[in-house]
Amino acid sequence: MAQRGAGRRAVGTLVGAAIAALILLMVIGVFMVLSGFLSNYSKMVTRLSKERAQSPVIASAVDAVWSVSGSDITVQLESRYSRTILLTGVAILWSDSSLTIVDRWNSTSNVDIVVETPDGNTYTVQGFPVGIGPGYRVNVTLTGYASGRQPVTVQPIVSGSPSVIAVPAAAASRSPALFLLNTTALDCTVTWLGGATVNGAPITALIVAPGGSARIDIYNASGAAVEYLYSIDAYTVFNCSADIAYDTATQALYLVNTSGVYQRTLDQADQWQLLNTDCAAQGPGARAEVLATANGRYLLVIRGGGSSYCIIQLDTPGGQRRNTQLGITGTMTAGGRTLEAGSYTVSAACGDTAYILLYDAENNEPYIASFNATKGATGASTGWAIVARAPSRYSTGMACTGTELWILYERGSIYTVDTEIAAISYVPVELPFYPWGPGDRLEYTDNTLVFARGDGTAELWLIPA
């Protein structure tokens, strides 16, 4: 019995030792697995940390700018990073508070992506993501996205895997470009810019009446340069009591001076015809604008030297000519104020509405007023309204783009006015000159302000807007 008990104890000891060894092996195995996991995890964390640490480096090595042309916006990226990165999309916050995100899940047929290699070759990419190697340049064009609004923030999204980086894009900077007119211009220079027919050919015409002269110069502004074509004798000196306007629909050029309102085409062989004497200018600040309504086209004349205005119906909806000798005159009143024109009065027209810088007859404060021909063509004062108090008195020009006004003041301050909500914004543009002196000589085309400097120079400036 004693031997049997000793045997059992020996077996128990062996089993216990085996179990202990098994447990030890399991612990060692778990430890080895855990050590391997921790090592891999440590390596992964280290790699992620290094890649995340590279995010600022990647962001600083990517140059991004954007530009707007008409209703299209183009975002351009150029990489100086040492390895290939991915452009995964573009995010844009607009001036109307809407947000556009274009990526692999939100791509449309209105997005064009062109890649340029360092050696100058280009190719098109269909959708995101887009690989960007060192020295590569990518242009992403969103067609039609900028219609009626402006970008506030543009951020291309770049991936350095697995890090995703938003790279702020800056507006592409353009410096003001200088052209020279055919002659020097003094104070009281007036201009017009738009589609016109010149000697039977349609062009983008810049019409300049140099202050102190008795001529009207015609330029072709259709291309990258501004080309002088010829001059028309105005038979009147532009001294702030004369102005010009052009009607694209009827191809008629109008001249307002202290004798009356005259009309002709831009054809060199044509002659001036007296249209109306009731609407003659009365003093400094005379302005003329063509307004188009559903009931026909009208010529609004701010007669200058006071609060009188005059409106002439040029045709009917069917194009039938009216008796333009009959002008309807009235007094410029709005918001309980009588408004007057002065030497620094400027104006611009959009559709059936003209916008004019005028002055309160009582305290001489400057206001931006509007005249709507659809409401006020019968001469009723209901056509007049106050848009906003003007930032300053001394303007050198006004231009209109839909519901937005551009105003350039003496010493170079530029403002925009949202006419729908009466919001005035300062535009931080540095000009290499000081605009000076009265005259309405600012125009707008294709995101560019066109300004005839005057001030005894022949300078014509194209200012990025």
pLDDT level of residue 349 (50, 70, 90 thresholds): very high
CATH number of 81's domain: 2.60.40
Last residue within a domain, chosen from 118, 151, 171: 171
pLDDT tens for 199-238 read 888 999 999 999 999 999 999 998 778 999 999 999 999 9
> In the prediction, which pLDDT does 199 show?
84
> In the prediction, which pLDDT does 33 show?
47
Residue 30 counted as domain residue:
no
Question: Which residue in this structure is represented by tokens 């709005």?
Answer: 334
Residue range 115-144: average pLDDT? Answer: 89
**Residues 341 and 285 sit within 8 Å (Cβ to Cβ):** yes
Note down the domain range covering 133. Answer: 62-171
> In the prediction, which pLDDT does 44 show?
41
In a shared domain, residues 262 and 336:
yes
In a shared domain, residues 130 and 144:
yes
3-state secondary structure the chain: CHHHHHHHHHHHHHHHHHHHHHHHHHHHHHHHHHHHHHHHHHHHHHHHHHHHHHHHHHHHCEEEEEEEECCEEEEEEEECCCCCEEEEEEEEEECCCCEEEEECCCCCCCEEEEEECCCCCEEEECCCCEEECCCCEEEEEECCCCCCCCEEEEEEEEECCCCEEECCEEECCCCCEEEEEEEEEEEEEEEEEEEEEECCEEEEEEEEEEECCCEEEEEECCCCCCEEEEEEECCCCCCCCCEEEEECCCCEEEEEECCEEEEECCCCCCCCEEEECCCCCCCCCCEEEEEEECCEEEEEEECCCCCEEEEEECECCCCCECCCCCCEEEECEECCEEEECCCCCCEEEECCEEEEEEEECCCCCEEEEEEEHHHHCCCCHHHEEEEEECCCCCEEEEEEECCEEEEEEHHHCEEEEECCCCEEEEECCCCCCCCCCCCCCEEEECCEEEEECCCCEEEEEEEEC
Residue 239 counted as domain residue:
yes
In a shared domain, residues 212 and 167:
no
Residue 4 counted as domain residue:
no
Which percentage of the chain shows pLDDT scores above 90?
A: 53
Residue range 381-402: average pLDDT? Answer: 92
> 340 versus 148: which is more confidently predicted?
340
Mean pLDDT of the chain: 85
Q: How many domains does the chain have?
A: 2
In a shared domain, residues 99 and 162:
yes
In a shared domain, residues 186 and 162:
no
**Residues 301 and 287 sit within 8 Å (Cβ to Cβ):** yes
Q: What angle do CA 461, 70, 96 make, to 5 degrees?
A: 110
Residue range 187-193: average pLDDT? Answer: 98
In a shared domain, residues 217 and 77:
no
> Which region among 84-98, 212-226, 354-368 has the lowest average model confidence (pLDDT)?
84-98
pLDDT of residue 355 exceeding 80: yes
For residue 204, count CB atoms less than 10 angstroms from its CB and return exposed for 0-12, middle for 13-18, buried for 19 or more.
Answer: middle
Distance CA 257, CA 276 (A): 11
For residue 283, count CB atoms less than 10 angstroms from its CB and return exposed for 0-12, middle for 13-18, buried for 19 or more.
Answer: middle
Distance CA 191, CA 398 (A): 10
In a shared domain, residues 161 and 184:
no
CA-based torsion, 60, 63, 68, 74: positive or negative: negative
In a shared domain, residues 216 and 144:
no
Residue 403 counted as domain residue:
yes
pLDDT level of residue 27 (50, 70, 90 thresholds): low
Last residue within a domain, chosen from 128, 144, 171: 171
Question: Which residue in this structure is represented by tokens 């791509």?
Answer: 107
In a shared domain, residues 289 and 429:
yes
Return the bridge partners of 301, or none: 288, 310
**Residues 137 and 130 sit within 8 Å (Cβ to Cβ):** no
Nearest-Å Rg of the Cα atoms of the chain is 35
Residue 1 counted as domain residue:
no
For residue 454, count CB atoms less than 10 angstroms from its CB and return exposed for 0-12, middle for 13-18, buried for 19 or more.
Answer: buried
> In the prediction, which pLDDT does 328 show?
85
Residue 31 counted as domain residue:
no
Residue 15 counted as domain residue:
no
> In the prediction, which pLDDT does 200 show?
85
In a shared domain, residues 303 and 381:
yes
In a shared domain, residues 317 and 260:
yes
CATH number of 262's domain: 2.120.10.30
In a shared domain, residues 404 and 279:
yes
Residue 400 counted as domain residue:
yes
Distance CA 145, CA 445 (A): 19
Last residue within a domain, chosen from 123, 155, 171: 171
pLDDT tens for 431-453 read 999 999 999 999 999 889 999 99
> In the prediction, which pLDDT does 32 show?
55
pLDDT of residue 38 exceeding 60: no
> What are residue 46's phi and psi, to 5 degrees?
-60, -45
